[in-house]
Amino acid sequence: MKMEQKEWGIGGHSNAVKRTVEIRMTDNMRFTPDLVEVKQGETIRFVHVNNGKVMHEFVLGTKKELDEHAAAMKKFPGMEHDEPYMAHVGAGKKGEIVWNFNKVGEFDFACLLPGHYEAGMVGKIKVVAK
Ligand SMILES: [Cu+2]
Cα 89 to averaged position of ligand 1 atoms, centre (Å): 9
Cα 109 to averaged position of ligand 1 atoms, centre (Å): 11
Cα 130 to averaged position of ligand 1 atoms, centre (Å): 32
Among residues 37, 9, 30, 28, the alpha carbon closest in space to that of 97 is found at 9
Cα 129 to averaged position of ligand 1 atoms, centre (Å): 31
Query: pLDDT by residue (tens digit) across 44-74?
Result: 999 999 999 999 999 999 999 999 999 998 8
Cα 81 to averaged position of ligand 1 atoms, centre (Å): 15
Among residues 96, 103, 99, 101, the alpha carbon closest in space to that of 12 is found at 99
Query: What percent of the chain lies above the pLDDT cut of 90?
Result: 88
User: pTM value?
Assistant: 0.94
Q: Tell me yes or no: is domain 10-128 CATH 1.20.1250.20.
A: no
Cα 84 to averaged position of ligand 1 atoms, centre (Å): 18
Query: pLDDT by residue (tens digit) across 5-49?
Result: 999 999 999 999 999 999 999 999 999 999 999 999 999 999 999
Cα 102 to averaged position of ligand 1 atoms, centre (Å): 27
- Give me the residues paired with residue 97 across strands: 46
CA dihedral defined by 4, 8, 14, 18, rounded to 10 degrees?
150
Cα 28 to averaged position of ligand 1 atoms, centre (Å): 9
Query: pLDDT by residue (tens digit) across 81-100?
Result: 889 999 999 999 999 999 99
